[in-house]
Structure 1
Amino acid sequence: MANRTGTYVAFDGLGMTDPTKSDFRYYATIKAWCANSNIEFNITNSHEKTYAVRDTSSKATLYSRIQERLRASKNMLVILTSDTRYTGSVLSYEIEQAIDNYKLPLIIAYPGYTSILDVDSHKDVWPKALAERIGKAGTEAIHIAFNKDCILAAVKQFSVNGEHLRR
């Protein structure tokens, strides 16, 4: 198995090609934090460990690349917003694969919050793949605010070889 050092960042692109009109903007924020030498934030991005997938790539190529990235990941950061679709996005496939095949702990981040005190109050933004797996044996997840300090702490602490999470 590949060296599992990466963090796989997942979000719903909402089928948009303009990243400012989708949850891609939160992924771009994470990349900006990593690139800024004045900010203490560094994660190993699983997406940067393999060849890029183009918009013109076939579904088979996309899914193959997702699996390759997940194999190299120690955890998955899932960004959920009120725009996240219940079904019909690649995010559902990514969550299914992460939990069912790669046993990755999920770090679920919610933009617009300073803390997550009641996990169940966020069920309305969970994709079906997550809703069906939360609370089941083998699913490990922590729910946090989309905040650089929270994300960095969670990424450092929760991994396939680290802490065991409870919902």
Structure 2
Amino acid sequence: MAYKNGNYSAFYVTEPFNPSALGAHATRDFVYYNQLRMWKGQDSDFPFNDSHDKTYNVRDGSDWETTLKPRLRERLRNSKNIVLFLSSTTANSRALREEIDYGINDQGLPVIVVYPEYASESDLLTADNQALKQAVKNLWDKLPIFRDSMSSVPTLHVPNKKSVIEKALNNAKFMVGTKGDSGVSFYKP
């Protein structure tokens, strides 16, 4: 049995991947993933354990069925949750669909959804702080497999704020071995 201690980051990058000088760095969602890595680099106590570091890197020119898809699945099997970056630029790519479908529907991984375009908890919530804003929920349509599968695992919806993401990564209810009830959760301001 795999030791599930990683955080699997799921984010959109353009397909096919452009190996130009900027490459994935030109894709906003990838930049937010690198932000997590930067926070970890600055503070070894930051609770991000990158599942992408658990297997060798592959090139996006690699064959989907024989190399890329099996590597994604191996990383997900070694993860305790998924950190999904969901923004207005997220697209329903083959890789992102596979990551979410396999992670939720096969592995039962809880999902921490980071909304990079929202800076605080109150930005995500309705005026009474009792529900997520419709604009946030509309982003779920960017990734139908997530929208349609998220009710089967715990999901925590957070803004792109270091202290809140750190709290989410430490929350045992959003780790596969100790996960809480399925459904939508968020932190109130």
So what's the TM-score if we normalise by structure 2?
0.79
Instruction: Give the superposition deviation at 1:123.
Output: 2.6
Indicate the structure whose relative CO is greater, using CA pairs within 8 Å and at least 6 residues apart: 1
| 1:61-109 CA-partner distances (Å, limit 9, x unpaired) | 1110011001100000000000111x33311110000111100000001
Question: 2:153 matched to 1:147?
Answer: no
What runs of 5+ residues in structure 2 fail to find an aligned partner?
126-130, 185-189
Name the counterpart of 1:107: 112
Name the counterpart of 2:145: 129
Aligned AA (1:41)? F
Aligned residues: 163
2-structure distance, mates of 1:133, 1:80: 15
| 1:131-151 CA-partner distances (Å, limit 9, x unpaired) | 11133xx22211111222111
Match of 2:46 among 41, 59, 62: 41
**Pairing of 1:60-79 with structure 2 (within 5 A):** 60=65, 61-79=67-85
Percent of paired sites with the same residue:
33
Instruction: Quickly say closer, same or farther: Cα 1:124–1:89, change in 2 above 3 A.
Output: farther
SS in 2 for 1:13: coil
Aligned AA (1:119)? L
> Which has the higher mean CA deviation after the structures are superposed, 95-104 or 117-126?
117-126
| 1:38-79 CA-partner distances (Å, limit 9, x unpaired) | x85241111101111112211021110011001100000000
Name the counterpart of 1:93: 98
The answer to whether the 8 Å contact 2:105/2:149 transfers is no
2-structure distance, mates of 1:162, 1:77: 16
Rg (Cα) greater in structure: 2
1-structure distance, mates of 2:61, 2:14: 16
What runs of 5+ residues in structure 1 fail to find an aligned partner?
none
2-structure distance, mates of 1:89, 1:120: 28
SS in 1 for 2:156: strand
CA RMSD of aligned residues (A): 1.7
Match of 2:59 among 54, 59, 63: 54
SS in 2 for 1:123: helix
Match of 2:177 among 143, 161, 165: 161
So what's the TM-score if we normalise by structure 1?
0.89
2-structure distance, mates of 1:70, 1:54: 18
Name the counterpart of 1:32: 38
> Which has the higher mean CA deviation after the structures are superposed, 148-157 or 97-106?
148-157
Which structure has more helix as a fraction of its residues? 2
Instruction: Give the superposition deviation at 1:120.
Output: 5.4
Name the counterpart of 1:9: 9
